[in-house]
Amino acid sequence: MTSKDHEKLLSKAQIITLLLSVLWVPIVPALIFGATTFPEPNFDIGRFVAHSFVGYMYSIAFVAMTALPCFAALLLIGWVRWWFVLLLGVVLGGSIALLVFPSNPPRFDAVAGFAFMGLLCSACFWLAWSRVK
């Protein structure tokens, strides 16, 4: 391998950060899902945990199927910047809302809410990624 090939490889710390981010970034939408799926006066911690777990499983699937390949593409073309990552989070979050709530016309509140969750997730990812070189 030439020195150019070594520059394209990720460091061990970056690989670990990327893999751990796939596990911890979905906690954000999972907690939001758990907190918003039952009426406020009837708060039940068991139901909150159960709904958060279901939300976490879906979030991991969405991150692994959408965000990880898109981030890999950004990495390959050298466009890994904070604003690209945040924009990618907004776009992916909004597009997931279109899959979860298929309606014609699309529900603005759902798209905006999921886009905001995508923004929060991508910001959490960037906080971890920007610290590792």
**Cα gap 78→87, rounded to integer Å:** 15
Model confidence at 1, pLDDT cuts 50, 70, 90, reads very low
Residue 3: pLDDT band with limits 50, 70, 90: very low
Q: What is the pLDDT of residue 6?
A: 46
Task: Choose from 6-20, 24-38, 83-97 the range with maximum mean pLDDT.
Answer: 83-97
* Res. 82: pLDDT tops 60: yes
Q: Which parts of 1-133 are beta strand (E)?
A: none
Is the pTM here over 0.75, yes or no? Answer: yes
Tens digit of each residue's pLDDT (9 = 90 or more) over 22-73: 999 999 999 998 888 776 677 788 888 999 999 999 999 999 999 999 998 9
Short-list 47, 24, 22, CA closest to 35: 47
Mean pLDDT of the 85-106 span: 91
